Each structure stands twice: as structure tokens, then as C-alpha cells.
Chains A and B, each alone.
Chain A
Amino acid sequence: MAIVAIDNLYKRYKLGSRELSVLRGLNLSIGGGEYVAIMGPSGSGKSTLLNLLGCLDRLSSGSYKLAGRDVPSLDDDELSRIRGAQIGFIFQSYNLIAQLNVIENIQVPMYYQGVGERESVTRATELAELVGLADRLTHRPFELSGGEQQRVAIARALTNNPVMILADEPTGNLDSESGAEILRILDDLHARGRTLVSVTHDPKVAARSERTIHLLDGRIEREERNGHV
């Protein structure tokens, strides 16, 4: 079953009196367990697409079904719920909450889904171990390296067992060694059957995926299958 089914998607912004179309008639389908990379030059609409996929933004016209649910018809609270429960976000700048330690940062999405404190701590600890941070549980973000912070973010993205993980330039702020480590973890997640969508302009990152979608001026320019699987 398709996790993402997008049909004739438009996204327009009002810029003063002019209207700017960022996405123009996009069709996209992502199946369960797929690993998709989205590439394109600045202004091609990749960030906008990612925000729409992540239910952070609303489309102007067209349709978007996420795991069978019609996203445009949902209200703000339901969108919040989907973001928390169905989607895992990984950002370029990690976006950890500075005053919370590692375990608390991982717990944040569970808090909003009403997971009990004890279960939440257990799950967060397991995930921290999974990304190799078992000895860093009570550290605060500023005490961690960039790679470690991004691993916390990955653990956080997995807490509610999402149907799709969205990564926005996950290695953009990292040195090559830490970047490689993060990519390895993403590969690993994919191998375990996770659905991954990552936005990047680094061809090496895109090459790790099964399928690369090239955007240009709000349309899909071309798609290519990466034959390494």
C-alpha cells in the first residue's frame, strides 16, 4: 500500500498582489518501506514539498493521502496528531530543545501522544541505545557533538513508530565522518522496513536511496532508480 499518494498538487503563496506557484501539479507516490531522495536546486520546491509531506503546511489544491487518510480535510489538532504519531522529523540543524537532556528530548513526541512517563523513559532509553548514545542520556545538547545531536534527533523521530521518516539535509551540518555514520543509521532503518524520504542536494546522500526524484520549478523533472539495492 502506498504511504504517500499525491495527485496534482499545487502550492501557491501570495506575495503582495502577485501569486507565486511553488509546486505545480505534482504527482507522487511513495510505497511502504521505500527510501526516496528528493533533489533539486534552491527554489525548486523541495522544502515546500517536505513541509507538505510532514503536514506542517497545507496544500492549495490537489490531493494528499497519507497512509490512507485525506490530509487536506484534517483540522489543526488532527494535523498535530499526525505529525506526532505518524511522522518522524530529522532536521539539518537537529532542532533539539536546548534546556532538555538527551532522554527528555527523545521523550518529547511521546509526551504529546500521552504516553505514560515510565513507558516513555523505557522506550527513550532503548532508542538512545539503538543510536549508540547509551552513555549520554543525561547530557544536554550543547555537550554533544553535531553527529551525536543528530543521532538524538533520529531516536526522537522513531519514538512513536512513525509510518514515514522525513529527513531535511540530515548530513548538511556534519563533517564527513559523522555524516557517514548518520547515513549508515538511515540505511539501517531502511533495512528494517522504515519508509524514508530525504531532501538533499548532495548526490552522495541521494545515491544511498532507492529512488531519486529531481524537482525543477515546482515540477518533477525526472526520476531515477538507484540500482544498488
Chain B
Amino acid sequence: MHRLRSALTTLGIVFGVASVIAMLAIGEGASREAQAAIARLGSTNLIVETIEPLKERADTGNQEEVHRYGLTYKDAEAIHDTIADVEVVVPIRELDQEARYRRRKVAVRIVGSTPWYTDTVSLRMLRGRFLSSIDLHQQQNVCVIDERLVAGLFGFEDPVGKDLQMHGSCYRIVGVAGAVSSPIGRNGEANGAAVLSTSGASAAGNVYMPLTTAKSRFSEMDFALSGGRESAKRVELHKITVKVRSMDDVLPMRDVLDTLLKRLHEKSDYRIVVPLELLRQARRTQFIFSIVLGSIAAISLLVGGIGIMNIMLATVSERTREIGIRRALGARKRDIVVQFLSETLLLTFVGGLLGIGVGLVIPLLVTQFGNMPTIITSTSLILAFGISAAVGITFGLYPAYRAANMDPIESLRHE
């Protein structure tokens, strides 16, 4: 067999296999990240969010008036009191503020909530403790900061026990929590991804404090200048996270919540986000994504296979005489089939192994230089190798069959 020719042919399989692995790894990586972020929101959680309803411009006229909307403390109570299947209800109030420590200032997002906030969001405590029930009941001026704030405000000092200044008051820091990364899709493609953000765009990190403290220390009014007019908004709660016992309860709970809240709200100033549903959507998207990428890669494998068949057909006609000799010396048809098929399989096998090697490297390069996460699954390796073996057999059988069925006398006469 010609070495160069075999090597070039094998290259088709190498790239075919490599692209199957690489494509699947990239597809897997792209979606896994989004899925993980959504999963962090909790697959047994439902998140009710305040949204600003469309204002009836004509009614407001040029009068200065407070625009009141959104979720209320009453809503949270109603959910807790009237829906039996609810495990945890976490009301959340979010405020963007400036936090100071000595002369350092940084923009933060205040998350006013309850001690059981951690039942719905997995928050790692790095130091100190999270908010307690006593903090909540006594409206203590305490807070927990997230690790992203530590370096900017405290440098190398231990923040626990220090006082953080916000809006003219001091809040004793009782703990440091791990950062909860925002589950915004890379391309913003995830449905409603923007609203899932747990921290404001400009905020350096979160500051958690008791909801009662957040309510009493900070105004519910939010003044803004728009179009030369001063307008005011008033929002009590920004989110209510509801946790149910199992994933099966999630979708029925959405309907129950919706029914309840519709009765309490005239305007549609809330929406219910179901992470589980987003997760399912993301999985569906990823599945389609994988199929598309996989098909592209499979086509390149197919092309590689056709290349192999082409070369094997050429080899067969080139070795017609050898086939005739072997037949005269006692080779059965199946011996000839085995001979040529095993040559094809050897080519695809070597190509497959090299392809796996290349396929393992490409995702690394993509991660390194393309800054994209990639995940190589063992399934994709097996799949790629299986396909290359199948290609070898499929495209090797015909040339081998043709070789075996040549007339030995004709073959012996062949030049």
C-alpha cells in the first residue's frame, strides 16, 4: 500500500472523528454553563418578580404622582398562608446603594431578605454566619457581604465585625458569602435571562441584610428624572422566591401562584419565572444544537468514508493480479473479503485513534484561545469511534466484495 496515499486517506477520517468530538464538546460546554447557572436558581424554585407595568400616560397627565406597583408584603404572606404545598417563601427587596468603608466606596446591590433565603439559593458562607431570625425580628443593622466586595473595600483586612456605611447608617458585617454568579446566558439567549440577574449591572457585589432592616432604613420610593419630569416609583418587594417539595410540584404551583396573584393584583406587574422550565428549554436547545453540530461533523466523517472507499477501490483494481494469485493459491472469496476489509478497518482505526487525539486537543485550544467552555463526554468519544468503525465497514465492504468476486483467471491475466 502506498504510504502517502494511505496517510492522506486516513486524514479524512482523522478530521471527521476530531470534528465530531470537538463539535460535541463545544456544544456541550456552551449549554452546560447556561444550564448550571439556571440550575443554581433551584429546580424546585419558582421566582415571582416585580415588573413595571405599562403606564397609562394619558391618565397621569402632567401631575406628579407616585407610581405604585409590584409585589407586596401582603402577597408574600398570602402565598405563605393560603398555599399548602409551599415549603419556603422568601420575600426579597433589592436596592442599589453605595457602600463605604473608611474612604473606600463601591456600588452594591442590597438584598433584603430572610434567614431562609439560603434554602432557595445555595450560598456558601466563607466566614462568619448568615442572617439569623433574631436579626430579622429585631431589625438589626447587620449585613452579610459577598466575597467580591472584600478586596475592594477591605483589602487584606477581615471584614467580619467591621461596619459598612450605607445611606448614612452603619451595618455590622457578620459574614462573608461566596459570590453567586449571575445566570445570564453568554449570548443573552436564555429566555428572560436578564431578569434572572441577582445583581445590578453596575454593582460590585451583593450585601445581604434582614428584610425588616431594609424596609425600615431605606425608602420604598424611587425618584427618577425622565423627560424633564420628576417621577416616583414605589415598590415593596422585588422578588418572592417560592420553593416546593419536588420538581413535579413546580408547574402546578405556577398556576396556583398565578391564580392567587391575579386576584391580588389589578395590573400585570409581576411575572413568574420557573427555572425548571428554563432548564428544560436550555436542554432542548442544547439537544438541537448538538444534533446540528453532530450532523455537520458526521457529514465530514461521511466524506472521509467516501475517500476511503475511493482509495480502496483504486487499491483493489491495482492489486487485481495479486487477488488472482491468492485465489489460485487457495484463497476463498471470504479470505479476500477479510483481507481488504481488515485493511480498510486498519485505516479507519488508525484514523479514528488519531482523530480522538486531535479531537481532544481542539476543545482545549477553543477553551484557551476562544474563551469558551468545552466539555468532552465519553459518549462523544465512543460515538465518534463507533461512527468511524461503521464508516470503515460500510465503505470497506463494497471494495472487498468486488475484489472477492473477480474472476481468478481474468485477474491472473491482468497487467
Contacts and interface: CB of A to CB of B under 8 A. Distances in A.
Interface stretch (A24-32, A108-116, A179-187, A196-204): A108-116
A80 B322 contact: no
Contacts of B408: 56
Contacts of A109: 329-330
A95 interface: yes
Interface in B362-409: 408-409
A89 B328 contact: yes
A131 B324 CA distance: 24
B32 interface: no
Nearest to A89: B328
A76 B409 contact: no
A19 interface: no
Nearest to B405: A76
Interface stretch (B40-48, B242-250, B331-339): B331-339
A207 to B, nearest CB: 27
A56 B330 contact: no
Contacts of B333: 76-77, 80
A56 B325 CA distance: 11
B330 A54 contact: no
Contacts of A56: 327-328, 408-409, 412
Contact of A85 (B324, B330, B331, B332): B330
Contacts of B330: 80-81, 83-85, 109, 112-113, 160
A97 interface: yes
B254 interface: no
A156 interface: yes
A21 interface: no
B327 A95 contact: no
A54 B329 contact: no
A81 B331 CA distance: 8
A95 B332 contact: no
A178 interface: no
A223 interface: no
Contacts of A57: 409
A77 B328 contact: no
B326 interface: yes
A105 B321 CA distance: 14
B344 to A, nearest CB: 17
A112 B335 contact: yes
Contacts of B327: 56, 80, 83
Contacts of B326: 97, 108, 112
A117 to B, nearest CB: 16
Contacts of B325: 95-97, 108
Contact of A83 (B321, B322, B328, B334): B328
Interface string B199-228: 000000000000000000000000000000
A150 to B, nearest CB: 14
Nearest to B326: A108
Given A95-B321, A97-B322, A108 B412 contact: no
B334 to A, nearest CB: 8
A77 B326 CA distance: 13
A89 B332 contact: no
A106 B333 CA distance: 20
Contact of B329 (A51, A77, A83, A98): A83
A164 B325 CA distance: 18
Contacts of B329: 83-84, 89, 108-109, 112, 156
A91 interface: yes
A51 B322 contact: no
A85 B324 CA distance: 17
B328 to A, nearest CB: 5
B412 A91 contact: yes
Contacts of B331: 80, 84, 112
Interface string A54-73: 10110000000000000000
A75 to B, nearest CB: 10
Contacts of B324: 95
Contacts of A91: 412
Nearest to A81: B330
Contacts of A89: 328-329
A51 B409 contact: yes
Contacts of A113: 330
A93 to B, nearest CB: 9
Nearest to A83: B330
Given A77-B334, A84-B331, A112-B331, 5 more contacts: A56-B327, A57-B409, A80-B331, A89-B329, A113-B330
Interface of B: 321-322, 324-335, 408-409, 412
11 contacts: A54-B328, A56-B327, A77-B333, A80-B327, A80-B331, A81-B330, A83-B327, A91-B412, A108-B326, A109-B329, A112-B335
Interface of A: 51, 54, 56-57, 76-77, 80-81, 83-85, 89, 91, 95-98, 108-109, 112-113, 156, 160
* Top 7 A-B residue pairs of the complex, sorted by shortest distance between their CB atoms: A84-B330, A112-B330, A80-B332, A109-B329, A95-B325, A77-B332, A112-B331
